[in-house]
Amino acid sequence: MRCAVLGDPIEHSLSPVLHRAGYEALGLAWTYQTRRVKSGDLAWFLSTLDESWRGLSLTMPLKREAMAIVADVSHRARLVGAVNTLVRTTYGWAGDNTDLPGAVAAVRERYDGPIRSAAILGAGATAASTGLAAVELGAGAVTLLARDAARAEETRAVIAAHPAAPTVAVAPLDARPEVDLLVSTIPVAAQTDDLVAAWREAPALFDVVYDPWPTPLTSAATGAVISGLDLLVNQAVPQFELFTSQPAPLEAMRAAGEAALGARG
């Protein structure tokens, strides 16, 4: 059986490392590749695949594109407004989202304190899934910290639509609400000295970046730290199980990811 991760760019992805480690640990003769698929090309790419293809992981810019072309989409994918997992079924491709449960699991691995409120640096698709995860973890108030309030509106609406009916606000990037959890979805280059100093004492910091690591924010943090690798591994686990119908060997997958990041220096 064949699987792959699709996106553009895609060469940096650690997903092949994690999934292949899982296959090896379970003795599965499966393959997992990277395939560069540009925005607008997902439907065409799916049409080229034969029955040997079992599952696909999606990264940017394909997560929202998949919502429009896959008829069978899970409830949690509809909640997030994005598909990151495609599984072949007897009637075609089914779409799911493992970013949401993966983010919840990643936070709870590292932090067991209460999460009543959260702030998110950035307002893209990752901010939507991690914001929803914060709500699942108990946050009744979420603040999106973004440079452009208008561009943050779609993400604000996605989080606000959660059945728990959280209060979701948009504020400038330099706002400093008091929260239990800070999520950073911004690149390292945007993590300025002022930003780092302002958030160093956050009770819990979840930085979705995994390369380079550590980031300026996580290097200065005094509270619990959740990494992008934590997220990647914990979202890969349910994805692996959807593809193979077997329990995922989480620790083997994590060890492979840590080794690959170490090799990158």
Active-site residue set: 63
Instruction: Give dist(CA 18, CA 76) in Å, integer.
Output: 23
Contacts of residue 5, defined as CB under 8 A and 6 or more positions apart, other chains included, come to 13, 15, 16, 32, 33, 34, 35, 56, 57, 58, 59
Query: Cα angle vertex 108, ends 203, 111, to 5°?
Result: 25
Is residue 3 within 8 A of residue 57, CB to CB? The reply is yes
- Do 138 and 204 form a contact (C-beta atoms < 8 A)? no
- Residue that is written with structure tokens 């307002």 in the block: 123
Residues 184, 185, 189, 194, Cα dihedral to 10°: -30
Cα separation, 32 vs 37, whole angstroms: 15
